[in-house]
Amino acid sequence: MRRDIRGPLAEHRSPVATWRRSWGCIVATRVQGVDGPARLELRTQVRLSDRSDAVALEQGVQVPLVVEAAISAALVELEADGLGLTPRLELRRAS
């Protein structure tokens, strides 16, 4: 695992994992700060509809709300599971 220290916070960043989909991509990086718990940085690019500005605007409003709800639900489920033994959807990484 590559270790990288950047900036004044002296963080260790693992290599990025990227999932490419027809709608865009998700890039995930696990970050470990010197004085704190690990965190997951997620960067997402989502292609919005080109049918109309109104559809794209509504997607821009709704997609972050749905993503937040999905992350919250996943964290609750994984915390309750403890050891991560519950079968769950697995995103396959693009090569």
Sequence spans of domains, the chain: 1-46, 48-88
pTM, entire model: 0.69
| pLDDT tens digits along 11-53 | 888 999 999 999 999 999 999 988 788 899 999 999 999 999 9
How far is the C-alpha of 52 from the C-alpha of 86, rounded, in Å? 41
How far, CA to CA in Å, does 32 sit from each of 19, 74, 76? 22, 21, 21
